[in-house]
């Protein structure tokens, strides 16, 4: 799997490149600003780009803007945006057109290498990876309106994991239950929230996110 | 000494030292008023002088009058606008000192000008108020002038009967003109010895009236002084506080932003990398049994170890930038510690009988840090002196160096300091001629 990294802190950039190479990714380019990222993506057309939000020159949201451009210009390239803090607004901007091949994670998540690599792989293959923090924000914000209070605690856990972009198998592994039980929870959630049941993880994420974020 | 105590006080009033001192003050007042009145006459006088000096006056008709005055008039107006406020300030200072010495009236000094630029000369509120005082001197000079006149000519007139026998011992029948005496109501003439007693009576009245006239003149003058020469009025003070409050808020916001940036780009990124390296190391060590890749795990742990130490150093620097812990032991310790970390040798002298408010200590510390850094960076100094002295409710921080001088008080570094200290009504004086040496004095209140 081919990946382009954009991160302005050299230490982090090199560490990421090392981690991903070690895990069998092919790191095509590791760049330090948004413009170089755009040209690197155009040149290599990787499977996925890992993009820091704050990069030179303004250190505000140039990474996010580059990520949105990449998603528009290269629909086949997955984009994993990562940052030291998560903003719900950024997540909604990123997911605005389609919640496929996109991720938004806290930088802290690289500490759990397996989870991080799993999320990156999911994004690269057209899936979704939303940070639990973002999902938590969205769920809290939409709590009353979205009827989430009618869910059992377990169902809320399953919903959060669904919103993060995990598959049934992923949810089952995370909660240490069988896939069959997960399916039952999912069906209950969709019924309680009045969502049309949909198969396929991506459409499911979209439905859940639209529901909680209104 | 208010005349209510009886006629004796009124009789004694002219012979007190206060009356004498008031008289001196009134004389200066009259001279000042004359000077103020003379200012508008400067243009024609200068024009006439130039015409006379160039010999143009002797030609008929005088050819250069109109063009000359076309140049002189705007020039004088411009000069007046630029110089009025500083001149007013100078005149105000003289009068405040005189009032202090002669009348025992103390008027506090107005705040100094904000900078030495021409703009600050013109936009100088206290300076223009002093100009207003100068203009008021003209009507104030009327009672003062009358008072002094009566004070001087009263005794003169009173003495006429004494002089008469000495100078008017002519043979009878000699035709002589009258002897004239000056009174506030015009000249008074006497042809006979008896007539001189009329003059003497007028003199006595003048002498008795003089202290009251002078007192009225000086009292009005002092009232004007308090309003126009003292510290700025409430409205100005409020405006000043609004400006300094806005600056303080700005500075606080900037500081928070800088702090966030420093943490984000420093410790936070180091810790994230550290976590990542430890995460990778954990994988290399495996969950149980023999580690799958011990060599890599070791290397990653070493990296993580170094990362943790770097993160600690980063945080330590950051913490010191927010509030140096040594400052808790007092400014003396903190400045001594600061001096040891300077690239240029620093001689520290701190004379503080007790501790100023913590906020003042912090401001003084950061000013000293900034000035020491400036000296090390720009001045090529070989020695730096750092002193803190306390006089009354003010604390003075002095930083001197033997470097190249030429420090710009309007540059970003020093204006930043000036802004910080203005928040607590502090003052900064920079003396840094090209070629050195440099002396920067910062005066702060000891309590906020």
Chain A residues near residue B269 by CB distance under 8 angstroms: 9, 11-12, 84, 107
Give residue A37's Cα distance to chain centre. 19
Structure tokens, B69: 């005055």
Q: Are A111 and B278 in contact (CB < 8 Å)?
A: yes
Element housing B212 (H / E): helix B193-228
How confident is the model at residue A144, as a pLDDT?
66
DSSP codes joined into one string, B317-358: HHHHHH--GGGGG-HHHHHHHHHHT-SS-EEEEEE-SS---H
Cis preceding-peptide flag for A61 (omega within 30 of 0): no
Q: What is the pLDDT of residues B336-352, one digit of tens each?
A: 988 988 888 999 999 98
Give residue A122's Cα distance to chain centre. 8
Strand B384-391 relative to strand B394-401: parallel, antiparallel, unpaired?
Answer: antiparallel
Q: Are B270 and A111 in contact (CB < 8 Å)?
A: no
> Mean pLDDT score of chain A, rounded to an integer?
87
Q: What is the pLDDT of residues A61-87, one digit of tens each?
A: 899 999 999 999 999 999 999 888 888
Residue of A55, A110, A114, A117 to mutate for B, most B C-beta atoms under 10 A: A110
* ∠ Cα B326 B428 B358 (to 5°): 30
Neighbours of A184 (CB within 10 A): 14
Least Cα distance to B370 among B418, B312, B300 occurs for: B418
Q: Does A107 touch chain B (CB under 8 A)?
A: yes
The single-letter DSSP state of residue B423 is: T
Q: Does A21 touch chain B (CB under 8 A)?
A: no
Dihedral pair phi/psi, residue B388, rounded to 5°: -125, 125
Q: Does A54 touch chain B (CB under 8 A)?
A: yes
Q: Does A173 touch chain B (CB under 8 A)?
A: no
Q: What is the pLDDT of residues A32-58, one digit of tens each?
A: 999 999 999 999 999 999 999 999 888
CA distance B285 to chain A (A): 13
Pick the more confident residue, B48 or A153: A153
ipTM of the complex model: 0.82
Looking at the DSSP bridge assignments, the partners of residue B394 are: B391, B445
Q: Alpha carbon of A162 to those of A125, A208, B297: distances in Å?
A: 17, 8, 34
How confident is the model at residue B444, as a pLDDT?
93
Nearest to B276 among A59, A110, A114 (CB): A110
Smallest CA–CA distance from A56 into chain B, residue: B265
- A170: exposed, middle or buried (C-beta count within 10 Å: 0-12, 13-18, 19+)? buried
How confident is the model at residue B1, as a pLDDT?
42
Percent of chain A, pLDDT > 70?
A: 93
Q: Are B278 and A84 in contact (CB < 8 Å)?
A: no
How confident is the model at residue B361, as a pLDDT?
93
Chain B residues near residue A59 by CB distance under 8 angstroms: 261
Residue of B267, B270, B276 to mutate for A, most A C-beta atoms under 10 A: B276
Q: Are B272 and A59 in contact (CB < 8 Å)?
A: no
What is the Cα–Cα distance from A168 to A182, expressed in whole angstroms? 6
How confident is the model at residue B2, as a pLDDT?
44
| Cβ-contact A6, A49 below 8 angstroms | yes
Chain B residues near residue A9 by CB distance under 8 angstroms: 265, 269, 273
Least Cα distance to A170 among A106, A127, A212 occurs for: A127
Least Cα distance to A204 among A147, A164, A169, A174 occurs for: A164
Neighbours of B126 (CB within 10 A): 23
| Cβ-contact A163, A130 below 8 angstroms | yes
Chain B residues near residue A54 by CB distance under 8 angstroms: 264
Chain B residues near residue A113 by CB distance under 8 angstroms: 276, 279-280, 282-283
Confidence of residue A143 (pLDDT cuts 50, 70, 90): low
Q: In what order do the strands lie in the sheet with A78-83?
A: A26-31, A2-6, A48-52, A78-83, A102-106, A128-130
Burial B236-268 (b: 16+ CB within 10 A, else e): eeeebeeebeeebeeeeeeeeeeeeebbbbbbb
Q: Are A9 and B275 in contact (CB < 8 Å)?
A: no
- B115: exposed, middle or buried (C-beta count within 10 Å: 0-12, 13-18, 19+)? middle
| Cβ-contact B316, B297 below 8 angstroms | no
CA distance A109 to chain B (A): 8
Nearest to A110 among B265, B270, B279 (CB): B279
What is the Cα–Cα distance from B360 to B164, expressed in whole angstroms? 74
Nearest to B269 among A11, A18, A114 (CB): A11
How confident is the model at residue B304, as a pLDDT?
93
Q: Alpha carbon of A91 to those of A24, A163, A213, B233: distances in Å?
A: 28, 12, 11, 55
Q: Are B275 and A108 in contact (CB < 8 Å)?
A: yes
| Cβ-contact B337, B326 below 8 angstroms | yes
Q: Does A73 touch chain B (CB under 8 A)?
A: no
Q: Does A16 touch chain B (CB under 8 A)?
A: yes
Q: Does A120 touch chain B (CB under 8 A)?
A: no
What is the Cα–Cα distance from B389 to B353, expressed in whole angstroms? 9
Q: Which residues of B touch A (CB under 8 A)?
A: 261, 264-265, 268-270, 272-273, 275-280, 282-283, 296, 307
Region A140-168 average pLDDT: 82
Q: Does A55 touch chain B (CB under 8 A)?
A: no
What is the Cα–Cα distance from B124 to B130, expressed in whole angstroms? 10
Structure tokens, B401: 């160096």
* ∠ Cα A71 A75 A80 (to 5°): 50
Q: Does A9 touch chain B (CB under 8 A)?
A: yes
How confident is the model at residue A47, as a pLDDT?
95
Per run of 10 residues, the mean pLDDT along chain B (length 448 residues) is: 58 78 87 84 76 69 68 79 83 86 80 69 79 86 87 83 72 69 76 77 84 87 83 76 86 89 90 93 87 88 93 89 86 90 90 90 92 88 92 91 86 85 88 88 90
Neighbours of A69 (CB within 10 A): 15
Burial B3-17 (b: 16+ CB within 10 A, else e): eeeeeeebeebbeee
What is the Cα–Cα distance from B374 to B347, expressed in whole angstroms? 16
Q: Are B272 and A113 in contact (CB < 8 Å)?
A: no
Q: Are A15 and B277 in contact (CB < 8 Å)?
A: yes
CA distance B390 to chain A (A): 45
- B143: exposed, middle or buried (C-beta count within 10 Å: 0-12, 13-18, 19+)? buried
Element housing B148 (H / E): helix B125-158
């Amino acid at each position: 799997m081919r990946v382009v990294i954009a991160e302005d802190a050299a230490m982090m950039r090199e560490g990421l490149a090392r981690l991903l190479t070690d895990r069998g990714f092919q790191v095509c380019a590791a760049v330090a600003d948004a413009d170089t990222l755009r040209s690197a993506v155009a040149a290599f057309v990787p499977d996925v780009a890992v993009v820091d939000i704050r990069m030179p020159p303004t250190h505000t949201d140039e990474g996010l803007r580059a990520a949105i451009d990449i998603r528009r210009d290269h629909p086949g390239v997955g984009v994993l945006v990562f940052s030291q803090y998560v903003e719900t607004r950024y997540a909604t901007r990123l997911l605005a057109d389609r919640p496929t091949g996109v991720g938004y994670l806290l930088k802290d998540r690289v500490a759990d290498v397996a989870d991080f690599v799993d999320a990156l792989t999911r994004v690269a293959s057209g899936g979704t990876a939303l940070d639990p923090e973002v999902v938590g924000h969205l769920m809290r914000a939409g709590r009353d309106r979205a009827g989430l209070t009618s869910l059992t605690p377990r169902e809320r856990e399953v919903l959060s994991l669904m919103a993060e972009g995990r598959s049934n198998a992923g949810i089952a592994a995370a909660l240490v239950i069988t896939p069959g039980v997960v399916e039952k929870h999912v069906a209950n959630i969709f019924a309680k929230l009045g969502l049309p049941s949909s198969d396929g993880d991506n459409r499911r994420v979209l439905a859940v996110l639209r529901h909680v974020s209104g | 000494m208010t005349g209510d105590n009886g006629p004796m006080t009124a009789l004694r009033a002219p012979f007190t030292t206060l009356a004498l001192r008031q008289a001196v003050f009134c004389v200066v007042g009259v001279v000042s008023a004359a000077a103020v009145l003379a200012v508008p006459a400067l243009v024609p006088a200068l024009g006439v002088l130039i015409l006379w000096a160039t010999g143009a006056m002797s030609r008929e008709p005088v050819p250069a009058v109109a063009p000359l005055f076309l140049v002189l008039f705007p020039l004088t107006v411009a000069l007046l606008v630029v110089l009025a406020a500083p001149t007013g300030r100078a005149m105000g200072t003289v009068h405040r000192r005189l009032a202090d010495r002669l009348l025992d009236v103390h008027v506090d000094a107005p705040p100094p000008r904000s900078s030495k630029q021409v703009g600050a000369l013109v936009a100088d509120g206290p300076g223009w108020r002093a100009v207003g005082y100068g203009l008021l001197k003209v009507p104030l000079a009327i009672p003062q002038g009358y008072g002094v006149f009566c004070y001087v000519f009263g005794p003169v007139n009173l003495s006429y009967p004494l002089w008469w026998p000495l100078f008017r011992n002519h043979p009878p029948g000699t035709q002589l003109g009258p002897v004239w005496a000056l009174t506030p109501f015009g000249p008074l003439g006497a042809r006979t010895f008896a007539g001189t007693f009329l003059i003497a009576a007028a003199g006595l009245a003048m002498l008795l009236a003089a202290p009251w006239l002078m007192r009225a003149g000086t009292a009005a003058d002092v009232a004007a002084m308090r309003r126009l020469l003292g510290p700025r009025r409430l409205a100005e003070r409020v405006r000043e506080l609004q400006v300094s409050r806005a600056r303080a808020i700005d500075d606080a916001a900037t500081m928070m932003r800088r702090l966030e940036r420093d943490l984000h780009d420093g410790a936070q990124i180091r810790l994230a990398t550290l976590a990542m390296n430890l995460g990778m190391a954990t994988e290399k060590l495996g969950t149980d049994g023999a580690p799958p890749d011990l060599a890599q795990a070791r290397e990653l742990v070493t990296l993580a170890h170094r990362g943790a130490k770097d993160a600690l150093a980063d945080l330590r620097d950051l913490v010191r930038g927010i509030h140096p812990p040594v400052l808790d032991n007092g400014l003396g310790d903190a400045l001594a510690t600061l001096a040891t970390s300077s690239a240029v040798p620093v001689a520290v002298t701190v004379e503080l009988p007790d501790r100023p408010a913590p906020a003042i200590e912090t401001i003084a510390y950061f000013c000293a840090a900034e000035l020491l850094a400036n000296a090390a960076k720009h001045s090529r100094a070989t020695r730096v002196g750092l002193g803190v002295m306390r006089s009354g409710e003010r604390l003075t921080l002095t930083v001197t160096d033997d470097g190249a001088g030429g420090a710009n008080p309007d540059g970003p570094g020093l204006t930043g300091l000036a802004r910080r200290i203005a928040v607590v009504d502090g003052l900064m004086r920079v003396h840094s001629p090209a070629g050195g040496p440099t002396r920067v004095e910062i005066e702060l209140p000891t309590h906020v």
